[in-house]
Chains A and B, each alone.
Chain A
Amino acid sequence: MAKQLAIEIEDLSIGYGKGNKAFVVADAITLKLEPASLYGLIGINGSGKSTLIKTLSGALNPLSGEFKLQGEYAHRLTMEARAKMLSVVLTKSPVSLNLSCYELVALGRHPYTNWVGKLTALDKEAIYDALEKTDLTALKDKKCYQLSDGQLQRALLARAIAQDTPIIILDEPTTHLDLHHKFNMLKLMHQLAREGKTVLYATHDLEQALDLCDSILLVKDKRIASYSREKVLTSGVLESLFPKETVRFDAESKRFFLNK
């Protein structure tokens, strides 16, 4: 039997609105995402990265078409079942900064707890594991407003890890971080993928994505296509991503240069 695909998208159309007033962000999306892989989602600002993430995470309904999570049609899943398959890390969400780091991570156990949210020994183990993995154990009692941007980002990832899902989707997790914290996040995501999870992250840090990801999902001209790490370099799509007058891509060194 073939390996179970993590996400299977078939002729999906994403965007906002309804009926003939709908605004299509991207359509005819057909993608297959495998387990134990790291995917980088790249594209210029406003190209539809966030829209795809919102659609996959269930915050937005697709305009047409459907997709499967772990072999099951997403729209047929209950909210709870979906929450056990897919977790998200959102950078722009207004999280209450009055939560302690531990409380924040503990909310990842939400789909598993009872009606009032009581944490069992199993839940606590998952929380401490997630804190340990993200190197936050020492900071667990700190309030979120006391954490630095990099630490908060790690805590948000720890929350997703505690949710214990085979799929993790992150919206620009490395934006606004210094190099050290940026690499730290990337290392964590890479490690999670090696452990068997499907990790998809939207990013503007193309050079690191090219180094690290198993595959690149490229959003361009209302289309989203998947390229293996090797193919994305040779296919010429990166050269055409930005206007030629300002940005030049060198496939040899995998670097972007400013055209002076």
Chain B
Amino acid sequence: MNTKPAFRFFFLGALLCLLCLVLNVSLGSVAIPFKDTLQILSGGETATSSWDYIVLNYRLPKALTALMVGSGLAIAGLLMQTLFRNPLAGPFVLGISSGASLGVALLVLGAGIFGGSIAGLAFKSWGIVAAASVGSFLVLLAVMAVSTRVKDTMAILIIGLMFGSLTAAVVAVMAYFSPAEDLQRYVFWSFGSLGGNSWNSIGILALFFGLGSLLSVANIKALNALLLGPQYAQSIGVHLKRATLWIILATCILAGAITAFAGPIAFVGLAVPHLTRLFLNTSDHRILLPAVGLSGAILMLICDSIAQLPYSELTLPINAVTSLFGAPVVIWLLVRKRKLLF
């Protein structure tokens, strides 16, 4: 049917993604000439060894993180919108980010309140990653347990939102009793951050990203069937429970790992699938899934390039940039199309 516009989309998208990646790496607080950046990326060396170090060990990991974070969150958003048949669903409706937030809050704020042995952990970045992972994993287990019992996907959605309120309340109580510097650390984490990941962490993130994407691709057929609603999907041969579990698992792996490494990043998961649908005008997941992944990567690279405010010492919180970008997009979409469809 409409393979031609899809083909053009993927071709231009891949080019744009590569361009954004190079651009993202070449920009930053230290001015490195574009030509030298290219040279470093292509394996060469430049006269200034500190430039090599910055590009290879700071900027490139950050750009790759941005790529995986954007792509993974966007795919997770698409999965949730299709599964819940709700255009407002995103990767965080399952309470994944709430779980991660609670984990980090318990570690960072709890260290100040309770003191003792966990205090040491809170000052190591991998401690935060571990806390976020454990938090989102526990919420994942709870949601999975609920989803095998509750038949209605809407109920799962609401339970996810309730988890969100609960954890927000616990975090608020803890924040109230916390000293200012702990609170600041927590707030910084909640701003989201793409930088500061070592190549080792990138490898772990890539593993989860690959696993989650693979699971999503394996469920393309079921996702397409789910566009008809659960009863129809069942009537054309989809194992409803099994498909639901796999899709939720894929979302949790993607969003959980990303939140653990980059913090709770807003709006990408919600806005990117809608943006992509606008360009491609299809609901077919065979086209939509890779397209959404690609768009998410591009968008995140652009957002990150803006966030690091090229040639200045300042960096904006990535979450602020995605929201500044995402909110107007969703509003514009609603006004233009008057309705969001999943």
Choose one: A59, A96, A104, A113; the contact of B235 (CB below 8 Å): A59
Residues 265-283 of B at the A interface (beta carbon under 8 Å):
277, 282-283
Closest chain B residue to A171 by CB distance? B231
Contact with B along A23-41 (1 / 0, CB 8 A): 0000000000000000000
- Give the Cβ gap from B149 to chain A, nearest Cβ, in Å: 13
**B227 proximity list for chain A (CB < 8 A):** 95-96, 98-99, 107
Instruction: Please state if B237 and A80 are interface contacts (CB–CB under 8 Å).
Output: yes
- Give the Cβ gap from A111 to chain B, nearest Cβ, in Å: 5
Which of B131-139, B180-188, B217-225 forms part of the interface with chain A? B217-225
Closest chain B residue to A94 by CB distance? B229
- Give the Cβ gap from A9 to chain B, nearest Cβ, in Å: 18
Instruction: Please state if B221 and A116 are interface contacts (CB–CB under 8 Å).
Output: yes
Instruction: Please state if B228 and A96 are interface contacts (CB–CB under 8 Å).
Output: yes
Contact with A along B225-254 (1 / 0, CB 8 A): 101110110111111000000000000000
Tell me, yes or no, whether B284 is within 8 Å of chain A by CB. yes
Tell me, yes or no, whether A198 is within 8 Å of chain B by CB. no
**B309 proximity list for chain A (CB < 8 A):** none
Residues 86-135 of A at the B interface (beta carbon under 8 Å):
86-88, 90, 93-100, 102-104, 107-108, 110-111, 113, 115-118
Instruction: Please state if B237 and A90 are interface contacts (CB–CB under 8 Å).
Output: no
Instruction: Please state if B221 and A79 are interface contacts (CB–CB under 8 Å).
Output: no
Instruction: Please state if B85 and A96 are interface contacts (CB–CB under 8 Å).
Output: yes
Tell me, yes or no, whether B341 is within 8 Å of chain A by CB. yes
Q: Give the docked Cα–Cα distance between A99 and B284 (Å).
A: 8
Instruction: Please state if B237 and A83 are interface contacts (CB–CB under 8 Å).
Output: yes
Interface of B is mostly: loop
Contact with B along A69-81 (1 / 0, CB 8 A): 0000000000110
Q: Give the docked Cα–Cα distance between A102 and B281 (Å).
A: 13
Instruction: Please state if B228 and A107 are interface contacts (CB–CB under 8 Å).
Output: yes
Tell me, yes or no, whether B58 is within 8 Å of chain A by CB. no
**B284 proximity list for chain A (CB < 8 A):** 103
Instruction: Please state if B234 and A59 are interface contacts (CB–CB under 8 Å).
Output: yes
Interface of A is mostly: mixed
**Known A-B contacts A94-B85, A98-B277, A103-B283; A58 and B235 likewise in contact (beta carbons under 8 Å):** yes
Closest chain A residue to B238 by CB distance? A79
Instruction: Please state if A98 and B224 are interface contacts (CB–CB under 8 Å).
Output: no
- Give the Cβ gap from A222 to chain B, nearest Cβ, in Å: 23
Closest chain B residue to A113 by CB distance? B221
Q: Give the docked Cα–Cα distance between A93 and B236 (Å).
A: 14
- Give the Cβ gap from A85 to chain B, nearest Cβ, in Å: 11
Q: Give the docked Cα–Cα distance between A86 and B339 (Å).
A: 34
Instruction: Please state if B234 and A58 are interface contacts (CB–CB under 8 Å).
Output: yes
Closest chain A residue to B85 by CB distance? A94
Instruction: Please state if B231 and A93 are interface contacts (CB–CB under 8 Å).
Output: yes
Instruction: Please state if A79 and B237 are interface contacts (CB–CB under 8 Å).
Output: yes
**Known A-B contacts A103-B283, A117-B286; A93 and B229 likewise in contact (beta carbons under 8 Å):** yes
Tell me, yes or no, whether A183 is within 8 Å of chain B by CB. no
Instruction: Please state if A102 and B1 are interface contacts (CB–CB under 8 Å).
Output: yes
Tell me, yes or no, whether B191 is within 8 Å of chain A by CB. no
Q: Give the docked Cα–Cα distance between A96 and B273 (Å).
A: 15
**A256 proximity list for chain B (CB < 8 A):** none
Q: Chain A CB within 10 Å — which of B231, B232, B277, B284 has the most? A: B232
**A96 proximity list for chain B (CB < 8 A):** 85, 227-228, 283, 341-342
**A87 proximity list for chain B (CB < 8 A):** 235-236
**A90 proximity list for chain B (CB < 8 A):** 229, 231-232
Residues 16-55 of B at the A interface (beta carbon under 8 Å):
none
- Give the Cβ gap from B171 to chain A, nearest Cβ, in Å: 35
Q: Give the docked Cα–Cα distance between A250 and B223 (Å).
A: 50
Tell me, yes or no, whether A145 is within 8 Å of chain B by CB. yes
Choose one: B221, B229, B231, B339; the contact of A110 (CB below 8 Å): B221
Residues of B within 8 A of A (CB): 1, 85, 217-218, 220-221, 224-225, 227-229, 231-232, 234-239, 277, 282-284, 286, 339, 341-342
Q: 4 nearest interchain CB pairs?
A: A83-B237, A98-B341, A93-B229, A110-B236
Residues of A within 8 A of B (CB): 54, 57-59, 79-80, 82-83, 86-88, 90, 93-100, 102-104, 107-108, 110-111, 113, 115-118, 145, 163
**Given A79-B239, A108-B236; 14 other pairs, CB 8 A cutoff:** A54-B231, A57-B231, A58-B234, A88-B232, A93-B232, A95-B227, A98-B277, A103-B284, A107-B224, A115-B218, A117-B220, A118-B286, A145-B339, A145-B341
The 10 sampled A-B contact pairs (Cβ below 8 Å) are: A58-B235, A82-B237, A83-B235, A87-B236, A95-B229, A98-B277, A98-B341, A107-B224, A107-B228, A145-B339
